[in-house]
Structure 1
């Protein structure tokens, strides 16, 4: 009969081996200079190259598929997955929503990270922002103001405003991360509800951010972005204390 301690150690060892195999598969992709969309070797070829059985290999490949590293197309083969942040968004959304049942720590940490990104990079975005891009930012503000006047929420217009603020940086990773944060925020927003949110005031906050950007005042734009996140934190705290 296997004792609990031995069984636990065996499980840990098996997990460690699987993680090592996953790392080996990723190293193989890098060593062979494969790009997103490129086909991977067949299961037989991978098993032979890595010195493992096919069942163990398949288990690791499923994990890598969930992580967005590998794409398995049944009937076609395996490929290096295209850029995809869905797994990250789903994981962060779950952790954020779960934290609302307690003190909301992880949900608030997500707000902190997003705030640091946006307030820290707004000056650089302003340096390269064209008049057309600035006009697009104001279009998003106008849309929020129109929806607020009609008593309608504007989560999508809000997300568009922030995306347009940072498009001048031409940083695909940043835009992808902002999209992740917005997917997470949308789910948390649905979880906690509207609360005491003043739609007109929220739209006005974005108008003031736009005005600071239009005036070329980097310090004020960063300060107003920082204030914007106070409302999000307040609603999370309200939800936790309800």
Structure 2
């Protein structure tokens, strides 16, 4: 591993540069060594020796990588390869959205629009071929449970999320549920911070999900995409109402 010099003129510039160099070196070490999530990294002393930097530089770099979920520091045990989840993305988007004034109707709409574009593209792929009967049956079951919960005036956000994750499972793309989960996490946190209520007409939400399944059963790709778009229009309208305090 390439050793680094810690002797430039400006201490602030040197400190910043060395920290980034160490971060890049550690991530490259993980890739070059073929390490997997949960596997142990070299010790701080070994990194200091191989990179030729101070303990402070190593620790600062590892803390920065921990914030990105690239490494996991287990005090008393060592440093391990992290899961590289999308949690930092969700945290950044949440913070970015909450920085906007509470009355800014576009703050959450921007997040919803990105998710809408993503899901409309995904639903088109899903509808391009017949879905396995077991997935359609699973979607129907989720919609029925949503209707039951709604009739009992119980929240069903978990069922809603399960619906969308099940919908794209046939694509076999592990990144999709992670990415959707990140957007879901942002929406939940922002809505909670802004004290936004849930949809006042759960039967409408249930109906929109049922329309999606109906179109998929009929192998109606344009219909499925329209149903998904209609679903998101409802979410966006409700978010805008809550933002503006309109009942």
Aligned partners of 1:110, 1:210: CA distance in 2, in Å? 24
Greater alpha carbon shift after TM alignment, 91-100 vs 203-212: 91-100
The one of 222, 241, 244 aligned to 1:238: 241
Provide the rounded CA distance (Å) in 2 between the counterparts of 1:47 and 1:105: 47
Partner of 2:46: 45
Q: Distance in 1 between matches of 2:35 and 2:156?
A: 41
Q: Counterpart of 2:226?
A: 223
Partners of 2:105 and 2:244 within 8 A in 1: no
Q: Cα distance, 1:188 vs. partner?
A: 2.6
2:36 equivalent to 1:32: no
Return the alpha-carbon distance in structure 2 between the equivalents of residues 37 and 10 of structure 1. 35
CA contact (8 A) 1:115 1:229 kept: yes
Q: Displacement of 1:83 after TM fit?
A: 4.4
Contact (CA 8 Å) 1:128, 1:168: kept in 2 or not? no
- Unpaired segments ≥5 residues, structure 2: 1-9
CA drift of 1:106 comes to: 4.5
Q: How does 1:53-92 map to 2 (within 5 A)?
A: 53-92=54-93
What residue in structure 2 maps to residue 3 of structure 1?
none
Q: Of Structure 1 and Structure 2, which has the larger fraction of its residues in helix? A: 1
Secondary structure at 2:79's aligned position in 1? strand
Deviates more, 1:79-88 or 1:207-216: 79-88
Normalising to structure 1: TM-score of the pair? 0.87
Determine whether 1:136 maps to 2:165: no
Note the residue ranges of structure 1 that are not aligned, 5 or more in a row: 1-8
After superposition, the Cα gap between the structure-2 partners of 1:71 and 1:195, relative to the gap in structure 1 and judged at 3 Å, is closer
Correspondence for 1:166: 168
- 1:142-175 Cα offsets, whole Å, 9 max, x none, are 1111122122222111111111101111111111
Aligned residues: 234
> Is the CA contact 2:68–2:88 (under 8 Å) kept in the aligned structure 1?
yes
Tell me the C-alpha RMSD between the 2 structures: 2.2
* Change beyond 3 A, Cα 1:32–1:128: farther
The 1:136/1:17 distance shift into structure 2, 3 A limit, reads same
Equivalent position of 1:98 in the other structure = 99
Q: Contact (CA 8 Å) 1:128, 1:169: kept in 2 or not?
A: no
Separation (CA, whole Å) in 2 of partners of 1:220 and 1:45: 59
Stretch deviating more after TM superposition (126-135 or 58-67):
126-135
CA–CA distance in 1 between the matches of 2:62 and 2:100? 30
Is 2:197 the counterpart of 1:194? yes
Query: Secondary structure of 2:184's match?
Result: helix
Q: How far apart in 1 are the matches of 2:216 and 2:197?
A: 28
Q: 1:214 to 1:188 in 2, by over 3 A?
A: farther
TM-score (norm 2): 0.85
